[in-house]
Amino acid sequence: MTSAVTPAELYQSFSERLGLRWVCGKAAAEQREIAATSFRVRPSLVGFLNLIHPNRIQVIGEEEVQWLDSLEAKARWETIARIVDLQPAAVVVASGLDVADDVEHVAREAGLPLLTSSLPAWELVSFLEYQVARRLARQVTLHGVFMEIFTIGVLITGESGTGKSELALELLTRGHRLIADDAPEFTQLTPDIIEGSCPPVLRDCLEVRGLGILNVRRMFGDAAVKSAKFLRLIIHLYLPGEDHSEGDRLSGNTGKRPVLDLEIPQINLPVMAGRNLAVMAEAAVRDFMLRMKGFDAAAEFVERHARLMGRP
C-alpha cells in the first residue's frame, strides 16, 4: 500500500513551526496528494523550483525570485504558466518574501495551493524533505519485543512460549530499555536505515505471562523507556526440536532476516533449562558490536590455531 500526505495535512502539523500562511488554494490542498513508492523516485518530493524535474512541493526562495524578475515579461508569464501546468501539490514562497501579483493571479485561477513561509528557503526544504519522506516511508509491524541493549536496537523474536517477555523483563532489570512490546512498528527512513517505534496504544507496556500488563515507565522510571531506535540486530529464540540447524560451533547460529528492503543480522538462541538468556543476549549484542568494529573472535581463533600448528 502506498501512503500519501496532502499539503493541508502538512499545514495543519507544521504551520506554526514553519511560519506558514495561506495565500490561495486552501480548499484544493486537501485533494492534492503527495505519494511515493520508493526512496529513489525522480522528481523529488520537496525541493527548490525545478521546471525540468518538477518537485511535488516547489519552494521559491530569494534566488528563484531574482531569476523570475530577470526574465522579460513574455518569458516570465510563460514560466509562471509552466509552473502551474506542472501541477505541483503546492508552491511555497519562502524567506518571508512577498508573493508577486502575477504569481498569485495565476495560482488563484488554476486553484493551485500557494503558501508563504517565514523560514529561509534552505531550512524549509530541509525540514519538509525529512517530514514528508518520514510520512511516506514504508512500514511493517513485526511480532516481538524491541529493546535498546548497549545502545543497539535489538528485536527479540520467537514463537509463543519461548520467553520473549521474560527475557525483556530481565534485561530491563539489568539497565536496558524497552521500546515496544508485541507489535513494534518499523519504518524505512532511508535505503539503509530502519527505525522501530511503539504504537501509541502499547506505549510503556510489557505483557508477561502470570503478571499481565506491566507499566515499565512506572515500575523502572523514565530512563527504562525509549521512544524509537534504529533496528540493527534480531535475536530469535527457539525451542530445541524446532527446525533450526545448530550452525557453526565457531561462529554460532547466525543468519539474516529480510525486513522491508534490508537484510538484518539475526542470531538464533536455543531456549533450554539452566541457560541465562539475559546473559546470552548481552553477550550476543557485545559480540555483534565487536564485529561491526571489524573484530571477529572466530577468525582470530582460527588464525591463532593455524599459527600454533605451524600452518601459513
Supply the pLDDT for residue 1.
44
- List residues with catalytic annotation: 143, 164, 182, 249
Supply the pLDDT for residue 247.
57
Supply the pLDDT for residue 160.
85
Q: What is the DSSP string of the chain?
A: ---EE-HHHHHHHHHHHHTEEEEE-TTGGGT--EE-SSTT-SS-SEEE--SSS--SEEEE-HHHHHHHHHS-HHHHHHHHHHHHHT--SEEEE-TTPPPPHHHHHHHHHHT--EEEESS-HHHHHHHHHHHHHHHHS-EEE-SEEEEEETTEEEEEEESTTS-HHHHHHHHHHTT-EEEEEES-EEEEEETTEEEEE--GGGTTEEEETTTEEEEHHHHH-GGGB-SEEEEEEEEEEE-TTSS----BTTTBSEEEEEETTEEEEEEEEE--TT--HHHHHHHHHHHHHHHHTT--HHHHHHHHHHHHTT--
Supply the pLDDT for residue 64.
93
Q: Cα separation of 236 and 21, whole Å?
A: 50
Supply the pLDDT for residue 286.
94
Domains and their CATH numbers in the chain: 4-136 (3.40.1390.20), 139-306 (3.40.50.300)
Residuewise pLDDT in 10s, the chain (312 residues): 457 889 999 999 999 999 999 999 998 998 888 886 545 555 578 889 988 888 899 999 999 999 999 999 999 999 999 999 999 999 999 999 999 999 999 999 999 999 999 999 999 999 998 888 888 888 899 999 999 999 999 999 998 888 899 999 999 999 999 999 989 999 988 888 999 999 999 999 999 988 899 999 999 999 999 999 999 999 999 987 755 556 566 666 788 999 998 999 999 998 888 788 999 999 999 999 998 888 877 777 888 888 888 765
Closest CA to 181 of 142, 219, 237: 142
Q: Which three cell numbers stand for residue 303?
A: 588464525
Supply the pLDDT for residue 43.
55
